[in-house]
Amino acid sequence: MSSIGTFLMADDNPVGILLTIAKKDAQTGRKVVNLSSWYVEEGHRWSAARLLMAALSDKEAIYTDLSPTKAAAEINARFGFRTFGFKRLLLVLPWLAVVGPRKGHLVALDAVPPGAIAEPLLRDLRRHRDLGCVVTVVEAGGRYHPVVLGMIRRRHVSAARVIFAESIEIVTDNLGALARLLLLRGVPLLVLEVEEDRSVPHAWVWKRGLCHQVKGDWDDSLINELYSERVLLNV
C-alpha cells in the first residue's frame, strides 16, 4: 500500500504532517499526487518547506493542490507549482432547467457504446458512481464526454459540484440538461468554479480569489478531481 502522507519530525516527535492522495491517471497512465491537507506546529513552521520537499520526492509524478491555503500556495509556488485563479459560482437549477443551454444530450453511463470511453476511465467513473457521485455522459457530434458531479450538503440544502469534465465548456454548454438531471435527484443548486474573467449566464458569484495549483505536465483545460479530498473527505 502506498503512503498517504509524510510526517515532519523534530528528534523523535512528529510536529507536522502532509496528507497526500495518489492515483494513476486513467487517460495518461501518469502518477498524480494530490496534496490534500497539512498541519505544522507553530514553533516549527519555519521548516514546513522540508515537509513539502519530502512529499515531492517522485520526480516523475504530477502534483496538484486543489484547495491550498494562502500560506500553502506561497510555499507551493516556490517549488514550481503553477497557480490558476478562479471564482466560485452558484446556479439555481429550477431556472436553468428551463432556460439553460443544451448543445448535446445526456446518456446514462451504462448506455455508452463499447469503446466510446477508455476502459481505465470507465472504471474510475463507475467507482465514483459507487461513492455517491452523479455520473452522466454528454453525447455531442458522435463523441461521448463524461461528467462527474459530487454531492455536498450545506445548511440542509443539497448542491452538486463538478468533479470531472474534459472542459468547463462541456458543462456550461449543457447546463439545461444537467439541471434537469440533478433536479430529478432532489438537488436544487450547482456550484461551478470558473476563471475569474469568465461569464456564465444566470450565475451568482459566491466567492472570488480562490486558486488551485499544479506541478508537472497537466492539461489545464481538464477538470479532474477524481479520488481527491473533494470526493473522499467531502470538503
pLDDT value at residue 10: 82
C-alpha grid cell, residue 197: 474573467
The structural architecture, per CATH, of the domain 86-207+218-232 is: 3-Layer(aba) Sandwich (3.40)
CA distance 16 to 107: 46
Residue with cell 448543445: 103
Q: Is 3.40.50.150 the CATH classification of the domain at 5-85?
A: no
SS3 78: helix
Q: What is the DSSP letter of 186?
A: T
pLDDT tens for each residue of the chain, 235 residues long? 466 777 888 888 888 888 888 888 877 888 999 998 788 888 787 777 888 888 888 889 999 999 888 888 988 999 999 999 999 999 999 999 999 999 999 999 999 999 999 999 999 999 999 999 999 999 998 999 999 999 988 778 899 999 999 999 999 999 999 999 999 999 999 999 999 999 999 999 999 999 999 999 888 888 999 988 878 776 6
Residues 181, 136 contacting (CB under 8 angstroms): yes
pLDDT value at residue 69: 85
- Domain boundaries for CATH 3.40.630.30 within the chain: 5-85
pLDDT value at residue 2: 61
